[in-house]
Amino acid sequence: MTHPYAQDNDLSTATLHGSLSEPALESMNFLNEVASRYPEAISFASGRPFEGFFDTTLIRDYIETFARYLRAEKGCNDTQVNQIIFQYGRTKGIIHELIARQLARDEKMTVDPEAIVVTVGCQEAMFITLRALRRDERDILLAVSPTYIGITGAARLVDMPVWPVRSGPSGIDLDDLATQVHRARAAGLRPRACYVMPDFANPSGASLTVALRQDLLALAASEHVLLLEDNPYGLFHDGPHPPTLKALDTNRQVIYLGSFAKTGFPGARVGYAVADQRVGAGDGSVSLLADELAKIKSMVTVNTSAVGQAVVGGKLLLHDVSMAAANQRETAVYLENLKHLLGGLSQRFPAGGVSWNCPSGGFFVVVTLPFAAGDKLVEHSAREYRVLWTPMSHFYPSAEGLHQVRLACSQLTPEMIEAGLDRFAAFVAGQRHDMAGEGK
Amino acid sequence: MTHPYAQDNDLSTATLHGSLSEPALESMNFLNEVASRYPEAISFASGRPFEGFFDTTLIRDYIETFARYLRAEKGCNDTQVNQIIFQYGRTKGIIHELIARQLARDEKMTVDPEAIVVTVGCQEAMFITLRALRRDERDILLAVSPTYIGITGAARLVDMPVWPVRSGPSGIDLDDLATQVHRARAAGLRPRACYVMPDFANPSGASLTVALRQDLLALAASEHVLLLEDNPYGLFHDGPHPPTLKALDTNRQVIYLGSFAKTGFPGARVGYAVADQRVGAGDGSVSLLADELAKIKSMVTVNTSAVGQAVVGGKLLLHDVSMAAANQRETAVYLENLKHLLGGLSQRFPAGGVSWNCPSGGFFVVVTLPFAAGDKLVEHSAREYRVLWTPMSHFYPSAEGLHQVRLACSQLTPEMIEAGLDRFAAFVAGQRHDMAGEGK
């Protein structure tokens, strides 16, 4: 029998959960660690929201606004307001009605507030959803590849394999989705859901057309596979935006994973799941999936911080319960930054050999280089050229995307983007020079 | 093959995770549901903290105080303060140094701040600890029985069996602990840790003597079993309190699970783990268990709300970084309430047949009744006598504690305790009358 204690240590990773040896859980640490060692490097690696409008004094306004709402709209007295913000609270959250109003305004989605579970960021929404869907070793998750690291890590925590689905030129290859579903079923497995980010995906920047969204919904319905729709960036659009999968969903096929990390702020740690699926129990009773997710949440975090919820609720209330309205300045910054990034790439790489996609919004652009750009080159680029980026290989389960890098521009200014692209172009030229030298 | 969709529903519990059919996840819901249907009932069921000092305007003071600390002690400028409170942050948290100072002051514990992981309440600390320790189906958790429902539920989420250890008259039966460890090992299992609440345990109210703490530490060391020490109530003591297990731990045998739900406030949702164990990897490298827990945390909630941490940090800073100092008024309330509860029981049940334990602090007293008092009787008691309590059977894995009920007095006033005990005595008399009738 393996003894859990190593000779000189207290514990051994060999007897801790396998997720602790998972690359997905390491890759964010690796990038943060490189960034911390080269603080003077300009970072295209970070997809954090813009910080220029952060202001700690706003928190007071948000909380006071939320307290006024509790008094005026919910009929609470001061004792009840204090109780709601200080005490243990409803497991599914206290801003569910505001979130439903926000989704109606910003996304034209009609959502039953009772189908909403407010979570500790979108990450917890992913985690509790996968925990519910993974019953045993037969259950697998499908995910459009390249895939956000957060879903890969959450799946790993519940020992749920993630099968990649090709993205292809359109953002998701429906033929491959059908193939993977059939392949899984033939192997005696249960493909429970397919994870997809239809708007300005992290890391690809790609968006799905409305027609493709409809085809995806039809395929998911006919194949009895849920869709996990993750939508952190959908509001950072230039003008009207396409409907979400959930807005088009007439069949309760979609679990919508909502984030306020980019539209509220990350430090509040508030997200949510919309889970209106009906769950039948053996005794004939029926519950909402949201209530099942809440049972799991109660054993992970009990409930989401009422202070965090009050802050996000107050921000919503100060902007007509619209995150699109609350983020007009930020959206302008992101679109301006993206324009600079795409324009700057065109200026610096006019000839062939370096290419990139051109998202119309969001935080991310993927650049394809004429050489493999992995973790060793990130370090080299940070040290020698003082510029950071993310190898796309981090977002694939196997050796793919080796020549691709993700550039994020959300946290920068146009001046930093220009300076960063100069450094990035010098890095690329340096690598090409080395390659040419090697080729001699 | 089982199809994940039931005929008329979208999903079936038969294909969702087994925890969703777990009594531990249902029992809190059941009690809350009964409480909501009988709002005029006086509740001895709720172990929530006293609400009389809750004041939403304090949150502003707490955050401003924390911001001042960042400027004065950490040398932050305003931009950095805004970034720390609004942006994504350090996975292990931003108040780890304050927590280490608090533990030194309040518990005389010397803790490396790097060994602290700040979590979304103590519940997340339990969850990520069990997720790390449960590698495969051989890993089991031992827990002193009766057991707090939160640890049972967290274990269920990671499919980790919980083996009860008898509490006996002293709070933990060390002979039974050794027996269970040997029995598990003989069955090819790995007993990874024993969960214990040494101070005013929930639900039993029991505390361990210092000698027993030392014997427990020695046994855990010789048997190579970690101790998970949960300590939410230890500061609510009349005068000096015994050292925690972690304060006595010279061998890194204890993972300390800390809560600010009762000493800070529940709505902040801030807790922590102290995990100073050394973890050896296959390649000879060594890490702190805290860093391994942080990897898991990053895939559950990313990081703990900076706003929540700022609020707790500010409360600490306003009271000389001592939660004992911050809770002088609350501690007086709890001790006064406990005195009323114990005195009121003596007045109302002078003869034999009804007995109870006499904790010197904390929130809970266990009353033993001359009849079985389960969920059906809770409902009867709420409806007919307008008084609520918790059946102790909720805290046992099998049919134990059937004649026992837990009375909590933390959220009440002396007047409510007196009125509630009148109702409770009437309920007991009513049941005894019925029993006498049945005996005829």
Question: Could you report the per-residue pLDDT of A126-140, keeping only the tens digit for each?
Answer: 999 999 999 999 999
Question: Could you report the per-residue pLDDT of B318-343, keeping only the tens digit for each?
Answer: 999 999 999 999 999 999 999 999 99
Binary contact (B280, A120; C-beta < 8 A): no
Binary contact (B11, A279; C-beta < 8 A): yes
Is B2 a domain residue? Answer: no
Return d(Cα B261, Cα A301) in angstroms, integer.
Answer: 12
Return d(Cα B220, Cα B223) in angstroms, integer.
Answer: 5
Return d(Cα B39, Cα B33) in angstroms, integer.
Answer: 10
Q: Which of B281, B302, B325 is the last residue of a domain?
A: B325
pLDDT of residue A6: 42
pLDDT of residue B24: 67
Is the pLDDT at B1 greater than 80? The verdict is no
Is the pLDDT at B26 greater than 80? The verdict is no
| Cα within 13 Å of Cα(A408), Cβ side | 20
- Picking from A87, A268, A296, the nearest residue to B266 by CB comes out as A87
- Picking from B12, B87, B278, the nearest residue to A51 by CB comes out as B87
pLDDT of residue A2: 40
What percent of chain B shows pLDDT beyond 90?
88
Helix (H, G, I), strand (E, B) or coil at B193: strand
Binary contact (A268, B55; C-beta < 8 A): no
Whether A223 and A181 have beta carbons less than 8 Å apart is answered as yes
Binary contact (A305, B308; C-beta < 8 A): yes
Chain B CA closest to residue A51: B83
Same domain, A258 and A113: yes
Query: Number of folded domains in chain A?
Result: 2
CATH number of domain containing B380? 3.90.1150.10
CATH number of domain containing A230? 3.40.640.10
Question: Could you report the per-residue pLDDT of A227-277, keeping only the tens digit for each?
Answer: 999 999 999 999 889 999 999 999 999 999 999 999 999 999 999 999 999
Same domain, B104 and B46: no
Q: What is the DSSP string of A279-343?
A: EE-TTS-EEEHHHHHHHHHHTTTSS--HHHHHHHHHHHHTTTT-HHHHTHHHHHHHHHHHHHHHH
pLDDT of residue A29: 75
Q: What is the mean pLDDT of residues B138-162?
A: 97
- Picking from B14, B60, B299, the nearest residue to A153 by CB comes out as B299
Return d(Cα A395, Cα B209) in angstroms, integer.
Answer: 53
Report residue A435's pLDDT band, with 50, 70 and 90 as the boundaries: confident
Same domain, A39 and A104: no
pLDDT of residue A134: 97
Q: Nearest Cα to A118, choosing from A320, A321, A303, A322?
A: A303
- Picking from B18, B83, B299, the nearest residue to A51 by CB comes out as B83
Is B161 a domain residue? Answer: yes
Same domain, A224 and A372: no
Mutate to test the interface with B, among A1, A2, A5, A17 (most CBs of B within 10 A): A17
Same domain, B365 and B272: no
Question: Could you report the per-residue pLDDT of B283-332, keeping only the tens digit for each?
Answer: 888 999 999 999 999 999 999 999 999 999 999 999 999 999 999 999 99
Is A1 a domain residue? Answer: no
Provide the 8-state DSSP code for B399: S
CA torsion angle A307 A313 A315 A318 (round to 10): -130
Q: What is the pTM of this model?
A: 0.96
Crossing angle for the helix pair B306-317 and B57-74, to the nearest 10 degrees = 80
| Cα within 13 Å of Cα(A346), Cβ side | 8
Chain B CA closest to residue A185: B1
Question: Could you report the per-residue pLDDT of A298-326, keeping only the tens digit for each?
Answer: 999 999 999 999 999 999 999 999 999 99
What percent of chain A shows pLDDT beyond 90?
88
Strands B139-145 and B42-43: unpaired
Return d(Cα A253, Cα B429) in angstroms, integer.
Answer: 54
Mutate to test the interface with B, among A11, A12, A28, A90 (most CBs of B within 10 A): A11
Same domain, A226 and A82: yes
What percent of chain B shows pLDDT beyond 70?
97
pLDDT of residue A8: 60
Crossing angle for the helix pair A306-317 and A96-107, to the nearest 10 degrees = 40
Same domain, B123 and B204: yes
Enumerate residues 6+ apart whose C-beta is below 8 A from A248. Answer: A210, A213, A214, A217
Whether A209 and A175 have beta carbons less than 8 Å apart is answered as no
pLDDT of residue A31: 80
Binary contact (B9, A278; C-beta < 8 A): yes
pLDDT of residue B438: 67
Sign, CA torsion A424/A425/A426/A427: positive
Provide the 8-state DSSP code for B162: E
- Picking from B8, B12, B56, the nearest residue to A81 by CB comes out as B56
Q: What angle do CA B318, B322, B325 make, to 5 degrees?
A: 80
Question: Could you report the per-residue pLDDT of B36-57, keeping only the tens digit for each?
Answer: 899 999 999 989 999 999 999 9
Return d(Cα A342, Cα A360) in angstroms, integer.
Answer: 10
Crossing angle for the helix pair B414-439 and B375-385, to the nearest 10 degrees = 110
For A196, list phi and psi in degrees, rounded to 5.
Answer: -150, 145
Q: Range of A83's domain?
A: 59-323
Q: Compute CA distances B60 → A251, A377, B35, B55, whole Å.
A: 45, 46, 32, 10
Mutate to test the interface with B, among A7, A12, A16 (most CBs of B within 10 A): A16
Same domain, A251 and A357: no
Question: Could you report the per-residue pLDDT of B219-267, keeping only the tens digit for each?
Answer: 999 999 999 999 999 999 998 899 999 999 999 999 999 999 999 999 9
Return d(Cα A411, Cα A417) in angstroms, integer.
Answer: 10
Q: Which of B284, B309, B325 is the last residue of a domain?
A: B325
Return d(Cα B5, Cα B129) in angstroms, integer.
Answer: 33
Average pLDDT taken over every residue of chain A: 94
pLDDT of residue A27: 74
CB pairs under 8 A between A and B: 311
Q: Which of A272, A300, A323 is the last residue of a domain?
A: A323
Q: Compute CA distances B379 → A5, B34, B386, whole Å.
A: 48, 7, 9
Place of tokens 């960042």: B70
Question: Could you report the per-residue pLDDT of A404-433, keeping only the tens digit for each?
Answer: 999 999 999 999 999 999 999 999 999 998
Same domain, B294 and B311: yes
Is A220 a domain residue? Answer: yes
For the beta sheet containing B116-119, the strands, ordered from the edge strand earlier in sequence to the opposite edge, are: B116-119, B271-274, B254-259, B226-230, B190-196, B139-145, B162-166
Same domain, B83 and B213: yes
Q: Look at B361 and B438; give whichever has higher pLDDT.
A: B361
